[in-house]
Amino acid sequence: MPPLVFYLDENFPEVMAALLIALGFEAVSTNSLGRKGARDHNQLLFAAQTERVVVTYNVADFLLLHDAWRDWSAAWGTSPTVARHAGILIFHQDKRGFPVATIAQLIADLVGRSGSLENRCFVWKRVTGWREV
């Protein structure tokens, strides 16, 4: 299996890429690639085309995009090997905030437990931890 490459949505601090790299992953940000301000569906399409796992705080939009991706692929009879994204990881923000170093470790822990993230979407909340949707 090729190494996971994470694609950080523009709402994540740039330091997150360095933290993930320090944990042995590859990581780039929308900002570093000059894609800041691109619409969410374009971000997911770009991530899918370049085999990158999306990491975002944008709960509502990316849950909708993942559901649409899955449902439309099934409705159109598209093979999972054709209609695939590398994965989506969504973090709920709360008023207390959460250190990005901890988020990077949560991602590493999830990858260690879950194996492939392909065509999967996980949501993390402080009170419940990871949940696949």
Residue 79 pLDDT > 80: no
Arithmetic mean of pLDDT over the chain: 89
Q: Tell me how far apart the alpha carbons of residues 66 and 54 are, in angstroms, rounded to a whole number.
A: 11
What does pTM read for this prediction? 0.90
Please report which confidence band the pLDDT of residue 74 belongs to, taking 50, 70 and 90 as the band edges: confident
Residue 45 pLDDT > 60: yes
Q: Taking the domains of the chain in order of start, what are their residue ranges?
A: 5-132
pLDDT, tens digit (0-9, with 9 covering 90-100), for 80-133: 555 689 999 999 877 677 788 999 999 999 999 988 899 999 999 988 999 999
The whole-number pLDDT of residue 115 equals: 81
Q: Could you give the strand order of the β-sheet that contains 121-125, starting from the edge strand earlier in sequence? A: 26-29, 5-8, 53-56, 88-91, 121-125, 129-132
Average pLDDT estimate for 70-85: 72
